[in-house]
């Protein structure tokens, strides 16, 4: 258990004067990293692990505990699942449901909020949609925000390699954009795993004044990418969070499902990152681990007011290609 104080190493922005400090808006967050979830592990068994982390977080006076992407199950897109009923078993048709209700009840009992990633089945009329989804639940145990992963990585078809990455086969593209919500006294947004690699994710939330981004991830290593790409996975993970936070003057809590899960390695490095881009806390294991930080929500003020004052500095008239063009189109040779 590592507990970092509310004092950050982001320069002198944290008021030294206790009275002035009392004026600071603080959100105490916990990244609740999960170690491997076995294919045979039931939702109830996983919820027990989540409850243990929630109670530990409450012990530290945390306002919101952040769980990983697809937290309720093993990372099933690593396998080809061709039978629809079998695929449905990895999804939640309702939220909360019998298995997850204890999480909502405990949140209400303890007065703590949480963010949870899971595979969602949603119906539009009689059309079944499948989303890689995350929710924000407030201290009363009510769902106050939802997000559906937009940047779906991996492949539709099976590749010649031991581990697959079939998210494009199993999930629809999210249909909600990148919404932000007022929660825990701040403007909170969400991203899911691969979303963190795309600057558009952060900037769309930045243009809504986001101050805190919750982002769970399952980042496999060694599915068949080149060694140097694999070796740089941890570096790229932090790079995405630090750049996204700094360039949009927001906090972020990044939370891994980590470790060797069903024979496939996934990075840990769950982290809490300040608007300065500094990592203020990071997990040091690839198991269930909690890190906590008292985030001074005024830290982004100076960045939003000066260097990243979007209204004052941005020039959308020059950014047209970002929304007009999907793939890169180099100039004629
Ligand atoms: N996982 C990975 C991620 O973006 C990935 C996919 C792995 C992309 C390695 C690039 C390299 O972290 C999910 N679930 O998006």
- The per-residue pLDDT for range 199-240, each reduced to its tens digit, is 999 999 999 999 999 999 999 998 877 888 889 999 999 999
- Residue 81: which pLDDT band, with cuts at 50, 70 and 90? very high
pLDDT of residue 250: 98
- Please report where in the chains the tokens 């004026």 appear, as a residue: 23
The rounded distance, in Å, linking the Cα atoms of 257 and 270 is 9
Asked if the structure places residue 15 within a domain, the reply is: no
> Dihedral of CA 232/238/242/248: which sign?
positive
The rounded distance, in Å, linking the Cα atoms of 158 and 175 is 25
pLDDT of residue 12: 43
Asked if the structure places residue 245 within a domain, the reply is: yes
- Residue 10: which pLDDT band, with cuts at 50, 70 and 90? very low
Segment 62-73 shows an average pLDDT of: 99
Asked if the structure places residue 287 within a domain, the reply is: yes
Q: Average model confidence (pLDDT) for the chain?
A: 93
Number of domains in the chain: 1
219 lines ligand 1 (CB under 6 A): yes
Asked if the structure places residue 321 within a domain, the reply is: no
Asked if the structure places residue 313 within a domain, the reply is: no
> Is the pLDDT score of 38 beyond 90?
yes
Given 193, 271, 283, 295, the catalytic residue: 193
Q: With contact defined as beta carbons under 8 Å apart, do 276 and 247 qualify?
A: no
- Ligand 1: residue of 34, 69, 165, 166 to mutate (most ligand atoms within 8 A of CB) is 165
- Ligand 1: residue of 215, 219, 222, 227 to mutate (most ligand atoms within 8 A of CB) is 219
Segment 32-60 shows an average pLDDT of: 98
Given 10, 28, 56, 69, the catalytic residue: 69
pLDDT of residue 3: 44
Report the CATH number that the domain containing residue 56 is assigned in CATH: 3.60.110.10
**What pTM does this model have?**
0.93
Q: With contact defined as beta carbons under 8 Å apart, do 14 and 8 qualify?
A: yes
pLDDT of residue 222: 80
> Is the pLDDT score of 36 beyond 80?
yes
> Is the pLDDT score of 51 beyond 90?
yes
Asked if the structure places residue 149 within a domain, the reply is: yes
Segment 70-91 shows an average pLDDT of: 98
Strands 64-66 and 113-124: parallel
Sheet holding 264-266, edge to edge: 220-221, 264-266, 259-261
> Is the pLDDT score of 244 beyond 60?
yes
Asked if the structure places residue 319 within a domain, the reply is: no
Task: Return the structure tokens found at 231.
Answer: 């070796």
Q: How far is the CA of 24 from the centre of ligand 1 (A)?
A: 36
pLDDT of residue 23: 58
Asked if the structure places residue 118 within a domain, the reply is: yes
- Residue 154: which pLDDT band, with cuts at 50, 70 and 90? very high
pLDDT of residue 209: 98
Q: Cα-atom radius of gyration of the chain, to the nearest Å? A: 20
Task: Return the structure tokens found at 9.
Answer: 């190493």
Q: With contact defined as beta carbons under 8 Å apart, do 47 and 67 qualify?
A: no
Range of the domain at 122: 2-6+23-298
The rounded distance, in Å, linking the Cα atoms of 318 and 270 is 36
């Amino acid at each position: 258990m590592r507990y970092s104080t509310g004092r950050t190493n982001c320069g002198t922005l944290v008021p030294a004067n206790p009275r002035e400090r009392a004026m600071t808006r603080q959100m105490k967050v916990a990244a609740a990293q999960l170690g491997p979830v076995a294919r045979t592990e039931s939702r109830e068994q996983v919820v027990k692990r989540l409850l243990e982390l929630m109670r530990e977080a409450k012990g530290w006076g945390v306002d919101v505990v952040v769980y990983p992407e697809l937290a309720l199950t093993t990372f099933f897109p690593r396998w080809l699942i061709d039978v629809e009923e079998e695929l449905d078993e990895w999804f939640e048709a309702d939220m909360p449901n019998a298995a997850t209700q204890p999480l909502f009840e405990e949140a209400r009992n303890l007065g703590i909020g949480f963010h949870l990633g899971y595979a969602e089945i949603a119906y539009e009329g009689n059309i079944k949609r499948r989303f890689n989804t995350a929710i924000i639940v407030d201290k009363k145990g009510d769902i106050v925000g939802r997000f559906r992963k937009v940047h779906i990585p991996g492949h539709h078809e099976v590749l010649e390699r031991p581990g697959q990455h079939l998210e494009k086969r199993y999930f629809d593209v999210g249909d909600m954009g990148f919404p932000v919500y007022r929660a825990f006294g701040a403007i909170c947004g969400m991203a899911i795993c691969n979303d963190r690699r795309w600057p558009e994710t952060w900037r769309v939330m930045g243009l809504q004044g986001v101050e805190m981004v919750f982002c769970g991830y399952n980042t496999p290593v060694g599915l068949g990418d080149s060694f140097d790409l694999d070796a740089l996975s941890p570096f790229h993970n932090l790079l995405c969070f630090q750049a996204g936070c700094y360039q949009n003057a927001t906090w972020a809590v990044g939370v891994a499902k980590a470790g060797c899960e069903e024979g496939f390695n996934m990075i840990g490095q769950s982290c809490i990152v300040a608007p300065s881009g500094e990592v203020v806390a990071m997990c040091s294991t690839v198991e269930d681990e909690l890190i906590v930080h008292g985030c001074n929500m005024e830290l982004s003020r100076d960045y939003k007011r000066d260097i990243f004052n979007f209204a004052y500095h941005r020039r959308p008239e020059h950014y047209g290609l970002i929304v007009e063009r999907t793939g890169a189109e180099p100039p004629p040779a």
